[in-house]
Structure 1
Amino acid sequence: MSERLVVIGGDAAGMSAASQARRLRSPGELEIVAFERGHFSSYSACGIPYWVGGDVASRGELIARSPEEHRARDIDLRTRTEVTEIDVPGQRVRSRDLEAGTEAWTGFDKLVIATGARPLRPPLPGIDAPGVHGVQTLDDGQALLDSLSGTPGRRAVVVGAGYIGVEMAEALLNRGYEVTVLTRGEQPMATLDPDMGRLVHRAMDGLGIRTVVSAPVTKILTGSDGRVRAVATDADEYPADVVVLGTGVVPETSLARAAGLPLGTYGGLLTDLAMRVRGHENIWAGGDCVEVLDLVSGRERHVPLGTHANKHGQVIGSNVGGGYSTFPGVVGTAVSKVCDLEIARTGLREKDAREVGLRFVTVTVESSSRAGYYPGAAPMTVKMLAEKRTGRLLGVQIVGREGAAKRVDIAAVALTAGMTVEGMTALDLGYAPPFSPVWDPVLVAARKAVAAVRAAE
């Protein structure tokens, strides 16, 4: 007898799960119904800043597979349809057609929750004024582009200086806007230690992006037409014709919470290694709505990245489809850029290490992307954390120009393997003057970390 799989969420995790399950089980064995409240499916949200900034020519280039393509593969994907309730004992979900306004119940034998994350929208006066935009979905990106094209002014304020904030600052700069970034943090990029964030701050200022730190926003000011005209902090007002919110995200688990499903410290769903929701044999969850195991700290974290979401979907789809797969955890690797400045991190910051009770040493080295005599060599700064006594690698942060960011992958592999900094110094990395100095910057940092660990004994 045929089973029914219901998927809530039509982006990376949800549709990867549906597609993988379909590869393993035929329509006669498994009916798949997916609900997506937006207009689009299987798209790259990470690409939205580059579409807004003009590096990506059109919205369609960000879509990996359209709703029509999913339907052609026997997946009943229902767009503009929002799930409003999960009835766990009754094994059914209630949905609302956002165009027609009608509601219906759909039963399931297996359920995948892939509801993603929602942007933090601080409850400030004026936060919902015309001209204030989040950038979580393709619909958000389109709304921002429409606003930019209809706004004669050329002043933009970005609230928040995390990944989205700095990427949107670059996008707006590329479109000819005068850009101010406001952050409540000590430095931009709170995913880095403050000393590394200071390098980002300096570079952003050099690019013409005004960055104001320790400046929590208190309200959005509007003009007589109701549209945004400025952003206020306790200390100042910053004129704005458009405002972009980059204040971070939280797991979108309101449905799961109402259904009594288990949530973690950060509000994300808790799953086992097979991505099955703990305590529920027929419910899986993946993507930005879940918490995952940090392999370095041993604690659960919320890490909203498309790379993880797609992997979660593959694992879920394999298990739903009758196969077997697991997701062991993450080490917290992320890269970004603002204009020609590359930013990367993996593992723990100093703050993270202290919170879990680890004792550590830190080292920072200045190096270059290529042999110093080879044309185009660019500077980079590498910071490395290692555990005292054992020398276990705990984290790496890199800020530099071309060739800097992807070097963090060396450290990500070392972290996953549980390597020591001494073991890292023997890594057989590729070398030629156009690509690296004889000693790669990451290995230079590892050598210095070895010395710091020995000195701390």
Structure 2
Amino acid sequence: MAAERMVVIGGDATGMSAASQARRLRKPEDLEVVAFERGPFSSYSACGIPYWVGGDVKERDALIARSPEEHRSRGIDLRMRTEAVELDLAGARVRVREEAGTERWEGYDHLVLATGAVPTRPPLPGIDAEGVHGVQTLDDGRQLLDALEHRIERGGGSGGEGARRAVVVGAGYIGVEMAEAFVQRGYEVTVLEKAEQPMSTLDPDMGRLVHEAMCSLGIETVLEAAVTEILTDEDGRARGVATEDTEYPADVVVLGLGVRPATELARAAELPLGTSGGLLTDLAMRVRGQENVWAGGDCVEVLNLVSGRAQHVPLGTHANKHGQVIGQNVGGGYATFPGVVGTAVSKVCDLEIARTGLLEAQASAVGLQYESVVIESTTRAGYYPGTRPIHVKMIAERRSGRLLGVQIVGRENAGKRVDIAAVALHAGMTVEQMTSLDLGYAPPFSPVWDPVLVAARKAAAAVRAG
């Protein structure tokens, strides 16, 4: 009996996790595993690129979890610089194009779509000019670092003798992380955000805290700034960014406008897509309506366990879990991915930013009535050296008191406290129940009442009063 064939499109988190898990469960004579990656790298951490650019991570290879050669040594036929260009679902085959331009059809018994996401790149004048960078791939990071090193060699800059200026377009996670990277490199940094506050993943009142902190760190953060053009010099290189109101000089421009699912192949094959353009799957990560097509990672939508709605959540943590689930199922086992609660954490310099669950607007959008509270506390006992401020916002469902969401903005040791709330959301806890959580305490780690529990107490009181 001939071996079945598993074809994976995408050689990063989901794709190679799926391939590796299936390979562990089934022998090569039972399952052939072939993966196609259009780029030059496999299994790397895109989330680490800002820290590589900023100098915290010294070498590119530190971001690579497993090289193509390592995958091949484990029985996975990983073919680099090979792009999938067409799906033939009826014929169970994929048309691929090699770097030299040669095309051919590859058959499959199981198809895994792990095509990831692509950066949002608005059609603005000058957007493709030299000196305008994204930070989605390792190639992007290398090109940006090469540009910065070349800039140092040339000397001077648009801001005058010796000045180095960076403009970051967008104040989401990538935007604030890249702002930090440039601060660490000694650049004067301007962040342009078209919304009323940075970090649209937070409610505006918490975003305001981020804005104030970024400004105090010396990062010029301009709000309600709609970019209209990337300005270029006589050589066609970016020299600044124009908004509706003014111009900002720049030696380098970085786009941090978020990403969208890379589902052009899926769309052309008429596979089901959600409102964000992400693929729709069942709990086993099988594409809806398909028996032998699977998908995961940044190209899919997932169920938000709090709102009950599907959404696009491009995070490496979920992508690796999706791959494990797919590999388990293709390998003859059984696994599911139940959904997410929307947990994320980031930082800019020493400011930590975290959220989980729903924002106020998201709760309203699904018809939930809620109470919300904000508390200010400290990360350690108030008398202990090194204690820093922390703000916690908590949202609870009216009457039931069910926890709906938590947002945290604070200094060192603030951000990871969001994990307490993430577990509580998964468990369906009420804010009243949270007040009795047995959390670790010692003066170097928290006040007697941890800030999350202080917020829970205040939220529980608001629910009772409401």
Give TM-score scaled by structure 1 length.
0.99
Partner letter of residue 410 of structure 2? G
Counterpart mapping for 1:392-407 below 5 A = 392-407=402-417
Q: What is the alpha-carbon distance in structure 2 between the residues aligned to residue 57 and residue 230 of structure 1?
A: 29
Q: Residue 451 of structure 1 aligns with which residue?
A: 461
Deviation (angstroms), 1:26: 1.1
Q: Residue 303 of structure 2 aligns with which residue?
A: 293
Cα distance per residue 1:186-237 (max 9 Å; x no partner): 1110100011011111111111110000001001010001100110000010
Q: Residue 377 of structure 1 aligns with which residue?
A: 387
Partner letter of residue 93 of structure 1? V
Q: What is the alpha-carbon distance in structure 1 between the residues aligned to residue 196 and residue 402 of structure 2?
A: 28
Match of 2:366 among 332, 346, 356: 356
Q: Residue 95 of structure 2 aligns with which residue?
A: 94
Cα distance per residue 1:280-321 (max 9 Å; x no partner): 010100000000000000000000000000000000000000
Counterpart mapping for 1:178-193 below 5 A = 178-193=188-203
Match of 1:167 among 143, 162, 177: 177
Q: Say which SS state the counterpart of residue 407 (structure 2) adopts.
A: strand
Partner letter of residue 101 of structure 1? G
Alignment partner of 1:204 is 2:214: yes
Q: What is the alpha-carbon distance in structure 2 between the residues aligned to residue 388 and residue 74 of structure 1?
A: 54
Alignment partner of 1:215 is 2:225: yes
Q: What is the alpha-carbon distance in structure 1 between the residues aligned to residue 72 and residue 195 of structure 2?
A: 45
Alignment partner of 1:317 is 2:318: no
Partner letter of residue 83 of structure 2? E
Q: What is the alpha-carbon distance in structure 1 between the residues aligned to residue 429 and residue 31 of structure 2?
A: 43
Counterpart mapping for 1:361-440 below 5 A = 361-440=371-450
Q: What is the alpha-carbon distance in structure 2 between the residues aligned to residue 240 and residue 105 of structure 1?
A: 46
Q: What is the alpha-carbon distance in structure 2 between the residues aligned to residue 302 and residue 9 of structure 1?
A: 18
Q: Residue 59 of structure 2 aligns with which residue?
A: 58
Q: Residue 161 of structure 2 aligns with which residue?
A: none
Q: What is the alpha-carbon distance in structure 2 between the residues aligned to residue 243 and residue 24 of structure 1?
A: 46
Q: Residue 160 of structure 2 aligns with which residue?
A: none
Q: Say which SS state the counterpart of residue 40 (structure 1) adopts.
A: coil
Q: Say which SS state the counterpart of residue 423 (structure 1) adopts.
A: helix
Partner letter of residue 112 of structure 1? V
Partner letter of residue 14 of structure 2? A
Q: What is the alpha-carbon distance in structure 1 between the residues aligned to residue 34 and residue 220 of structure 2?
A: 47
Counterpart mapping for 1:99-178 below 5 A = 100-151=100-151, 152=155, 153=157, 154-178=164-188
Deviation (angstroms), 1:134: 0.6
Q: Residue 5 of structure 1 aligns with which residue?
A: 6
Cα distance per residue 1:388-443 (max 9 Å; x no partner): 01000000000001110000000000001110000000111111111111110000
Aligned-residue RMSD, C-alpha = 0.6
Size of the aligned set, in residue pairs, is: 455
Q: What is the alpha-carbon distance in structure 1 between the residues aligned to residue 96 and residue 149 of structure 2?
A: 35
Q: What is the alpha-carbon distance in structure 1 between the residues aligned to residue 60 and residue 240 of structure 2?
A: 29
Q: Residue 243 of structure 2 aligns with which residue?
A: 233
Cα distance per residue 1:154-193 (max 9 Å; x no partner): 1110000000000000001111111100000111101000
Q: Say which SS state the counterpart of residue 453 (structure 2) adopts.
A: helix
Q: Residue 23 of structure 1 aligns with which residue?
A: 24
Q: Say which SS state the counterpart of residue 150 (structure 1) adopts.
A: helix
Gaps of 5+ in 2: 158-163
Q: Flag as ranges the 4+ runs of structure 1 deviating above 4 A.
A: none
Instruction: Give me the identity figure in percent.
Output: 78
Gaps of 5+ in 1: none
Q: Residue 50 of structure 2 aligns with which residue?
A: 49
Deviation (angstroms), 1:104: 1.0
